[in-house]
Each structure stands twice: as structure tokens, then as C-alpha cells.
Chains A and B, each alone.
Chain A
Amino acid sequence: MKVTIRGSGVAGLCVAAELAGRGHEVTVTDPAGGPGAQGCSWWAGGMLAPDCEGFAAEEVVIRLGRAAADWWQAQGARVIRRGTLVVALGRDRGELDHFARRTANHRWLDRAGIAEAEPQLAERFDRALWMSDEAHLDPRATLLGLRDRLAARGVRFTTEPCDGGRVVDCTGLAARAALPELRGVKGEMMVLRAPEVALTRPVRLLHPRFPLYIVPRGDGVFMLGATQIESGERTRASVRSVMELLSAAYALDPAFGEAELAEIGTDARPAFPDNLPRVTDLGGTLYVNGLFRHGFLLAPALARMAAEALEGHAKPELWHEHHA
């Protein structure tokens, strides 16, 4: 089958990979020519953390998300499987218990356990939750790598609008005119160069007001994220947000105080009212959208659903008919 995919963010590339893997003739069209800063997955954390996300997300996110790490690895992405550490500062210890009650697949680490996993954290924390099954990847390297591998496999990338064959729209917030329920949820993130910090796996710092996650990118580079603000604004990182993220990072490890502030990024995540992604059929065009904060975690599952829908199999789990 001939399929044109609009958009080369994480959703578009995953659908392209899934369809190309099934032998279809795939073209990806994006005004920017390929993945880049125009798509919000460029700014993502890249955590494949279904267990942690289970704190606030629905069961389907956890279940579908569990397959993500294997899918990415099978696509040739560099998936780092070192789990996630979850910590809280002294007076927020209750937050950690609360988090533990609402999540599964974890075990408690004491100071010795933390020292074994992340020695630098053991000075400041004597208790952590360890989600051992979780993984992470570098979103930008992953997107660019996948694009190259797809191109090598014959997937065509173009900046021209294509109208051959079936169309799968993966344009995120740009599809708002067709998907009126879609809204933007602003996120601000930062990249720090902190050679003195030696974290090797994602760490989440629970805090009632300023929660934070830090994802190591290797070579002393760390991504700090992310705010979650009900706004479609895609630019303008506020001083307040930056201060909150940096304060939390500094509280996690004072060595971040000496870090170089390499980047401040802002974009808006596309989300539906239930914050769950959907495959929507609108007059023959399939829309894969609403991945919210779960782009790398859920795009593989959504890509499979979109492919099955195109091939005429049973309607996928997160399927939405259009009701005009």
C-alpha cells in the first residue's frame, strides 16, 4: 500500500517505521524535511518510564508503554536500560511513600543501595524508589538515527505535500483545525553541561510544587524537565519556570550549581481532554495525535494501531471515529 505520512516527529517516524516494516511504500512529508526543533518530540525527555508515569496516567499508558523500550531497540535506537531512581527531599518524604503506593514494579533502596546505583546521590538521600525495568534514550539522536535508517530502507522524505495513496497525519498541534478537541500543554526544559555530575540514569525528584526529572544524555550533559502548563504557547520560557527547574536540580545535587546552561527549550505538547493519544479516522485520513507527555513511550503502540487500521484489521484500542 502507498502511504503518505505528514509530519516527521516521533509519531510520524514511528508510523513510517511500522509501515515500512510491513512492506508498504512510505513517503514522509514535512515542511522542514525531517525531524527537528519544529516538532515537540525534539524537546522531549526521552524517558521510557511506564511505571513512573503510572502515578498520574491511566492503565493503558503503563500497559502500552511497557513495549516501547523493545520496539525502539529493534529499530536500532540506543536504548539505555538502567531504570529510574525516584527521590524526595527530607521534608517531602511523604511524597515518596505516596508515589510508591500509586505505582508498581519498584523496590526501595536505602543509602547503601543508592550509593551502589548513583554514588553522588547517597550523600543527600537515604531512601529512593528504584524502577528497574525503565529505560531512556536520547530523543534527538533517536529521531535523526531513525530518519536515516528509514531513508536507507527506501522511505522517501520530502518537503512537498504528497497526495498519493492513504494519508496518516502526525502533525501534532498543527492538526488542530481537523481535531478541535486537541489542546497544547506547554513544557519548558533545559539542557545543562555538568561534567561534575555523574548520574547515569534518569532521576525524578518529587516535590509538591516543583517536581523535576533529570535525564543524562552522556558526556556530562543533562536534560532537565519539564513544566506542564495549560497553554498552547510554544515559545517564551519564563523566568519562574527556569528558576523552579534549576532550584530543584540544585537541591538534587549542588554540583549542578557549577553547570553550564547550554539550552532552554519550550514547546507545547498536543493533548486530548483525557490526555490519552488517539488514532482518529477523518474521511479516510488517519490522525495519530494527542501523545501528550508520552511521545517516545506511546508512539510505537500508536504506530502499530495505525498500521493495523490501514491494513483493515480490527479497530485499534485507542480508535476514534469521527462524529461530526
Chain B
Amino acid sequence: MPVFYGTDIASRLMLGTAQYPSPAVLAEAFRRSGAGIATVSVRREAGGGQQGQDFWSLIDSLGVTLLPNTAGCHSVREAVTTAQMARELFGTNWIKLEVIGHADTLQPDPFGLVEAARILTGEGFHVFPYCTEDLVLCDRLVTAGCQVLMPWGAPIGTGLGLNNIYGLRSLRAHFPDVPLVIDAGLGLPSQAAQAMELGFDAVLLNTAVARAGDPAAMAEAFAGAVAAGALAHGADPMPPRDMAAPSTPVLGKAFLA
């Protein structure tokens, strides 16, 4: 199971808390998923400080670890201010750092991200950066003090799955000791299983569960897929090969044809 900044988390599944039909459905989705971490958006609800308190109390009552995020921030200054507000509101120095660089694709701004990560780490935050799978970016983030990396699978909310398998595999290989979480872009449990099979430590989803017709059932489906993928990764899967290899020896064939 993953360890983030020295904290053991009992599940490889992390869930966002936006867009559910109701808080009751949200709570049921968490119960059936066994998710260990809930991300919560500070920014949109934070106008006037404590106004989102009712909703946050509901999330708090889920009994999972809270990871506030800076969703919707488009500049370093906004992200840093939002993180500071989150620390005050939720009493945690964990922050999922989003600095959006492109309004349409919601692609991270890698330059702003590194700068914000450096500032926040300096202020004692434990930063979970939402990033791309770019090796150099991830290296800079680790240098800036990030001990977790959260590369996207695909742009937020698209449900396209893992767009760059090569890049993600390469990221895993280059950062064997940094917890890696696939954040964003997953739409189906099979895609989450695939992320686990690649050796990622966890996945974070929101839209795929919240916008499903039956969010709680979908949450449970993702939990099963994540467990299956992680188990498979630990079981050392066979390598793919071009030549057919019968699992039962073929008798009576004398030649290697």
C-alpha cells in the first residue's frame, strides 16, 4: 500500500468529491470503494472563508484522509494562496497542487507548477503535484521537494485512459522510489487496472465515478480493478512475446518450425 510523506494509506484508490448527484451518493461511493483519500476543492467553495463548511463536514465524516487541492488555479500566486487557505481550513499541510496552464485542456503549467511547488515546500507543505508524464518536469518537481508525483493519464475529465504508456512506464522506471499516482483522465476500471499493472502506486479519479449512472457501483468496480492490477503487478506478469507458446507441450512435433 502507498506511503505518502510517511503516512500509510490503506487503499490505492483516491476519489475526488465533486460532481456527485448528492452528498449521500458521494458517501455511498466512498463506502463501497474503500478509498483512503478524498480530494476536496477549496477554491470554488471558499468564497467568504467558512461558507463551504457544511459540505466539508460531510466529507470529513467519511473518515478518510483529506487532500485539499488547488483546482481551478491558473497562476502560481493563486495556487499558493489557495494552498495557504486550505491549510488553515483543513488543518493539514498536504496539498494537491494544480496550476492550470491551458484553459481548454486543463493541461498543467509545468513552469508555474515547479515554482509553486518550490514555494510551498519551503513553507512546510507536503506537495502532491498534478503534472504531466514529462521526465524532466518530474525531476524538477522532486528537486523542488515533492515526494509524490501525480502524472495525468489523459486530460482531466476526458476518460481517455493512459494516453502515453511509454512515457508512464519510463517515469516509473526513472523514479522507482517516488510514489506515483495517476491523476486524471481515467474513465474505466480497466484503465485503472492498467495503471496498477505498470507499477503505479495509486490512482485518483473523480468524474469517472461521480458522473456514472450509478456512482457507488462504479466506485466499487474501480476498487476491484485497482486491487486486481496491483496484485498482478506484484505477481510479476509474464513478458509478451511474438511467438505463440502453447501452455500444454505439443507432443509428436519434431521440429522447431
Q: B54 within 8 Å of A by Cβ?
A: yes
Contact yes or no, B21 A183, CB < 8 A: no
> Cβ of B48 < 8 Å from any Cβ of A?
yes
Taking a contact as CB atoms under 8 Å apart, the answer to whether A183 and B51 are in contact is no
Q: Judging by beta carbons under 8 Å apart, are A274 and B51 in contact?
A: no
Report B-chain residues with C-beta under 8 Å of the C-beta of A232. 51-54
Decide if A275 is an interface residue (CB 8 Å cutoff).
yes
Determine the chain B residues whose CB is within 8 A of the CB of A58 once the complex forms. Answer: 21
Given contacts A183-B55, A183-B58, A273-B58, contact A231 B45 (CB under 8 A): yes
B27 CB–A CB distance under 8 Å:
yes
Q: At the interface, yes or no: B234 with Cβ under 8 Å from chain A? A: no
Chain B nearest Cβ from A214, distance in angstroms = 22
- Could you tell me if A229 and B44 are in contact, using CB atoms closer than 8 angstroms? yes
Q: How far is the CA of A94 from the CA of B122 in the complex (A)?
A: 44
Minimum distance in angstroms from B41 CB to a CB of chain A: 9
Contacts of A271 in B (CB 8 A): 22
Q: Does A74 contact B (CB under 8 A)?
A: no
Interface status of A208 (Cβ within 8 A of chain B): yes
Would A273 and B27 be within 8 Å (CB), given that A229-B45, A236-B47 are in contact?
A: yes
Complexed CA–CA distance, A184 and B50 (Å): 12
A62 to chain B minimum Cβ distance, whole angstroms, is 13
Q: Quick one: closest B residue to A55, CB to CB?
A: B21
B106: nearest chain-A partner, CB-CB? A209
Q: Which of A186, A230, A232, A275 has the most CB of B within 10 A?
A: A230
Q: Determine the chain A residues whose CB is within 8 A of the CB of B52 once the complex forms.
A: 230-232
Q: Which residues of A contact B157 (CB under 8 A)?
A: 208-209
The 8 A CB mask of A235-253 against B (1 = contact, 0 = none) is 0101010000000000000
Please tell me if the beta carbons of A56 and B21 are within 8 angstroms of each other in the complex.
Answer: yes
Asked whether B22 lies within 8 Å of A274 as measured between CB atoms, the reply is yes
Encoded as 1 (CB less than 8 Å from any A CB) or 0, chain B from 19 to 35 comes to 00111110100000000
Least distance between B122 CB and chain A CB atoms (Å): 29
Bound Cα distance from A233 to B54, whole angstroms: 11
**Contacts of A260-284 to chain B: CB distance below 8 A:** 271, 273-276
- Asked if A80 CB lies within 8 Å of chain B CBs, one says no
Nearest Cβ distance between residue A4 and chain B, in whole angstroms? Answer: 28
B55 near A230 with CB under 8 A, answer yes
A271 to B26 CA separation, bound complex (whole angstroms): 15
Say whether B6 faces chain A, with CB atoms less than 8 Å apart: no
| The residue from B27, B47, B72 contacting A231, defined by CB atoms under 8 A apart | B47
CB distance from B242 to the nearest CB of A (A): 37
Chain A 176-219 per-residue mask, 1 if CB under 8 angstroms from chain B, else 0? 00000001101000000000000000000000110000000000
User: 4 more A-B contacts (CB under 8 A) besides A233-B47, A233-B51, A240-B72?
Assistant: A56-B21, A183-B55, A232-B52, A276-B22
Write 10 A-B pairs (CB below 8 A) sorted by A numbering. A56-B21, A184-B54, A230-B45, A230-B54, A232-B54, A238-B47, A273-B58, A274-B22, A274-B24, A275-B22
